[in-house]
Amino acid sequence: MMLGKADAPARRAFGWFMLLALVVLAAGIGLRDPWPPDEPRFALMARQMLESGQWLFPHRGQELYSDKPPLLMWCEAALFGLSGGWRAAFLLPSLLAGLGTLGVTYWVGRRLWDARTGLAAAGLLLASFQFVEVVKHAQIDPLLLFFVTLGNAGLLLHCLRGPDWRACWLGCFAAGLGVVAKGVGVLALLMLLPYAWARWRGWAVSGVRDVPAAGSGGQEPAVHGGVASGMDDGEPVVRDRMLRRGQPPAGGDGWRWAAGALAFLLPILAWLLPMLATALGSGSPERLAYVQDLLFRQTAQRYADSWQHVEPPWYFLGVMLADWLPVSLLIPLLLPRWRRALREREARVLLPLAWWLLVLLFFSLTPGKREIYLLPALPMAALAMAPYAEELLRRRWLQRAAFGLAVLAGALALAAGAWALLGQPHAARRIAAGYELADGGRALWWCVIAAGTPFLLAAALCRPRRGVAALLAGIAAAWVVWPLATYPLLDANQSARALMARADARIGPDGQLGLVLWREELLLQARRPVAEFGFSRPWEDQLRDALAWQAQRPGRWILLDSDAMGDCVDKARAWKAGVANRNEWWMFDAAAVRPACRPPGGAAAP
C-alpha cells in the first residue's frame, strides 16, 4: 500500500533518511580506483567481458574464474556503459544495492508494523558498522544482501500479511537472483521454516488480516508486551485471527507454491542453461572444469570441507558483537522483550528472529568462516529490534552510554592521530612506508584526527541527554570524512596505479612487460598490453614461462612480487619498482637472469 496524503510526514522522514544514506554510502565515489583484495578482480573481469564479448565465462587474465557466479561482473560492465568510466561504475552496484536494502527494510517494517518501526529498522541497519563498510566496497556481498533481504521481505509479507502471492513470488525470484549472485541466496527460503512451525503450533500467521479498529479514531495503538499491535501505515488495527491449531492449509494453493518454486528457479536457469549448453557444446576441457568447480567444489565441497578461513563454531558470536557495533550493544537489552513477545505468539518477531538464528547456525556448522558471511542476517536482526527501539531510546542511561561512546570514539581517534604525528612510533612509520607516504604519513594521521573530530563536536552539541543522536551523527560524519580525505591520498598506492606508471616508464616506449606472481590490480592498471602466464599456477611455473618469453626478443621486462625472485634473478641487477599494498615489486630485464636459469638458446641482453 502506498503512503497517502495523511502519511506525508512519514514520507518526508523516509525521504530525508534516504538522502542521508546516499550521502554516507556514496561519499568518495569517483575519487579512487578499485582496491584489493576483491575490487580489482571483479572490475578486471567486467572489463574483459566488455572487450571480449564473453559474458558466460568470466576470465581473470587468460584463466577462467570459477570462484563466484558472474552477476556482479555483469552489473559493473553494464554500469560502465552508462557511466562511461570505471571509477564510478565499479562502486555503483554496491551503492544501489545498499540503498535498495535500506528501502526494502523500511518497506517490510512499515507493512508489518508502521512507518516509524520501518524507519527504525532501516536506521539500525545504516548505523551498523559492517553494513556501511561492505556497501562502500565493490564486492558481491552487497548484491547478495539486497536479494536476500528482498526475498525475506516478500515471504514475510505473504506469510504475515497475506495471502499475498505476488509478494511471495517476488521473494522467491529475489532468492533465485541471490543464487546467481553468490550461491547462498537460497537462504532466504529458510523463512518458510519458522512460518511452517508457527502455523503448526497454531500461531496467527498466514491468512492474518489487519482491519482498522472500530471507533479507534486517532488513538494510540494498544501495546502488548512492549510491541505495538498490528498496524497498517500508522493506523491502529486489530487482528482477525483466521487460523486455529491444527487447521490445514487452504486448498487450491498448490499451483501458487509451484509458481513460487518456478520464480526461484527462473533466474538460475536463465544463467545456468546457456552456460551449460555452451560448455558442453564446446567440448573445451577448461570450460568443463569451470562448470565442475563452480557448481560443486565452490558450493557443497567448500561448505562441508572448507580449505581456508577455518574458525571455531562460536566465531560468529564475536563477529556480531564487533562488526554490528553499535547496534549489537542492544541485543542483551532485547532478549527479555523478545522472550515476552514469543510467549505472546508474536509471529512478526518470531519469523525474522528465527531466520537470523537459522542463518547463524548454517554458517556456524561449516568449518570455513569469514566475517562477511553473516551480513545477510543483519537486516532481519534490525527488523526484530525495531519495534522496541523507541522504548529503549527513552532510557536516560542508554542516552548517557551512547554519549560516552561518542566521546570515547572521538578521543581515541584524536589521541591515535596525535601520537602518530608527534611521536612517530615504529608502527606509524611502518604503515606510512607500506603506503609509500611522504613525511612519515603526516597527511594520513591528520585524516585520523579529522575523522574523530565530528564525534566530539556532535557530543558537544547534543549533550548527554541526546547521546544517541551524538553517536549516530559522529558515525555518519566519520563515514563521509574518512573516504573524502583518504581516497585521494592512498589511491595511487592502493590501486597500484603509481607502480604501473613507474613500470611503464622504465621499459620505455618500445618495451614489453610480463607479470609473474601478479595481482589483479596490476593487470587492471597496466598502461599497455602485458604478458601474463597464469594467475593460479605456481610462481615457479610462471617464472619459467616468463623467462622463455623474455628470451625471445630484447626489450622485454618482467615485473614480479619479491617472493618470486628466487635464485634465478640477480637482485643487484634488478630494479625495485616500489611497494603497493604492502607488497614489494621488482623488475628486471634479461641481463639480470643468472646463466643457469636462461632458457636454451636464450641470451642475456647486453
* pLDDT score recorded for residue 597: 84
Average pLDDT of span 292-301: 82
* pLDDT score recorded for residue 603: 45
Amino acid, single-letter form, for residue 468: V
Distance CA 192, CA 196 (A): 6
* pLDDT score recorded for residue 55: 93
Kindly indicate the confidence band of residue 252, based on its pLDDT and cuts at 50, 70 and 90: low
- The DSSP line for 247-260 is PPPPTT-HHHHHHH
Within 10 A of 233 (CB to CB), how many other CB atoms are there?
18
* pLDDT score recorded for residue 282: 87
3-state DSSP call for residue 586?
strand
Percent of the chain with pLDDT over 70: 89
Least confident interval from 127-141, 155-169, 201-215, 271-285: 201-215
Contact 120, 10 (CB under 8 A): no
Cα separations in angstroms, 122 against 21, 532, 547 = 10, 46, 56
524 closest CA partner among 37, 2, 29: 37
Strand pairing report for 235-240 and 209-212: antiparallel
472 closest CA partner among 456, 453, 458, 457: 458
- Per-residue cell: 547: 623467462
Q: In sequence order, what are the beta bridge partners of 60?
A: 63
* pLDDT score recorded for residue 601: 58
Average pLDDT of span 125-151: 96
550 closest CA partner among 588, 522, 519: 588
Q: What's the mean per-residue pLDDT of the chain?
A: 87
Within 10 A of 64 (CB to CB), how many other CB atoms are there?
18
SS3 content of the chain, % helix, strand, coil (to 5): 65, 10, 25
* pLDDT score recorded for residue 249: 45
* pLDDT score recorded for residue 2: 41
- Residue 250 burial (CB < 10 Å; 0-12/13-18/19+)? exposed
- Count Cβ neighbours within 10 Å for each residue of 484-511 and write b for 16 or more, e otherwise: ebbbebbbbbbbbbbbbebbbeebeeeb
Each residue's pLDDT tens digit, 72-83: 999 999 998 777
Q: Which H or E run includes 38?
A: none
What's the order of all strands across the beta sheet hosting 583-588?
531-532, 512-516, 556-561, 583-588, 575-580
In which residue are the cell numbers 608527534 written?
422
Average pLDDT of span 595-601: 78
* pLDDT score recorded for residue 241: 37
Q: Is the pTM of this model over 0.75?
A: yes
Average pLDDT of span 304-323: 84
Contact 297, 206 (CB under 8 A): no
Determine if the peptide bond prior to 70 is cis (ω within 30°). no
Distance CA 95, CA 84 (A): 17
Strand pairing report for 59-60 and 583-588: unpaired
Q: In sequence order, what are the beta bridge partners of 231?
A: 236
- The DSSP line for 197-246 is HHHHTT-S-TT-EEEEPTT-TTPPPPEETTEEPPEETTEEEEEE----TT
206 closest CA partner among 260, 256, 152, 161: 161
CA 96 from chain centre, in angstroms, equals 12
- Residue 281 burial (CB < 10 Å; 0-12/13-18/19+)? exposed
In which residue are the cell numbers 548527554 written?
464
* pLDDT score recorded for residue 598: 83
Contact 97, 150 (CB under 8 A): no
Each residue's pLDDT tens digit, 82-136: 777 788 889 999 999 999 999 999 999 999 999 999 999 999 999 999 999 999 9
Cα separations in angstroms, 110 against 100, 113, 134, 565 = 15, 5, 25, 60
Each residue's pLDDT tens digit, 514-572: 999 999 999 999 999 999 999 999 999 999 999 999 999 999 999 999 888 888 898 88
Each residue's pLDDT tens digit, 461-483: 999 999 999 999 999 999 999 99
CA 22 from chain centre, in angstroms, equals 16
Distance CA 279, CA 276 (A): 5
Determine if the peptide bond prior to 37 is cis (ω within 30°). yes
Each residue's pLDDT tens digit, 543-552: 999 999 999 9
Looking at per-residue pLDDT, the higher value among 454 and 606 belongs to 454
- Per-residue cell: 230: 498490528
* pLDDT score recorded for residue 602: 52
Kindly indicate the confidence band of residue 305, based on its pLDDT and cuts at 50, 70 and 90: low
Cα separations in angstroms, 493 against 281, 442, 490, 570 = 44, 16, 6, 26
